[in-house]
Amino acid sequence: MKPSRWRLAVCVAACAMTALALPVDAAVSQWFEAHRRGGLNAAALGATSAWTLGAFVWAACAGLAFLKHWKQALLVGATTGVSLAIGSLVKLCVNRERPYKTLEDFVALTAADDASFPSNHTNGAFAAAIVLGAFLPRLRPAFFLFAAGIALTRLYVGVHFFSDVCGGIALALLSSTVALGIAEAKGLLPVRAVEAGDGAGAEESPDAE
């Protein structure tokens, strides 16, 4: 299966997972609430800060730019920004209440003013991680570990339902599929790395050997 078709298939699966998560939303939120630990609370709040995601994306783009891979850096930043903007529009349309406003006796560690669906922290983290992982395959596990950590902390602190997080991942997959389609067309990925004697002077992928 071609990479683009594989990514679309995963996106469809994530959308299906979002729908399947709805019946267990309350149970998942309550499980995380019951398993909070004092030593983890501060760490989770720090990790789930918008500053953490912003610093991750900024550092990734700065690193690519420092290595003179300007197009890749631009695509990472643009993909993340566009995906977050779409997520904000979806929030306005769906207008779902946060768990601590709908679940009886549920206590969150922090609060948020906007709607719950989708989780834009999760959306942005996975959008950046997916595109970065395609450019730098050897670092892909680290990127996905970061994104998964962001998703889990959103559940842990009680500001999102499980389906919100799944929706964020689905949106990130959709945005990154479009972005990576552009990257493939422009020859920016490792699978399209410039071969010896072909396209001299063209920009290679950061991970091309």
Distance between CA atoms of residues 104 and 26, nearest Å: 10
Distance between CA atoms of residues 161 and 164, nearest Å: 5
Residue 8 has pLDDT above 60, yes or no: yes
**pLDDT score, position 185:** 85
Contact status, residue 187 vs residue 194, Cβ threshold 8 Å: yes
Residue 1 three-state SS: coil
Distance between CA atoms of residues 33 and 156, nearest Å: 7
Hey, what domains does the chain have and what are their CATH numbers?
Answer: 3-191 (1.20.144)
Handedness of CA 85, 86, 88, 93 (dihedral sign): positive
pTM of the model: 0.87
Please write the tens of the pLDDT for every residue from 87-139.
999 999 999 999 999 999 999 999 998 999 999 999 999 999 999 999 999 99
**pLDDT score, position 189:** 77
Residue 10 has pLDDT above 90, yes or no: no
Distance between CA atoms of residues 32 and 60, nearest Å: 30
**pLDDT score, position 17:** 86
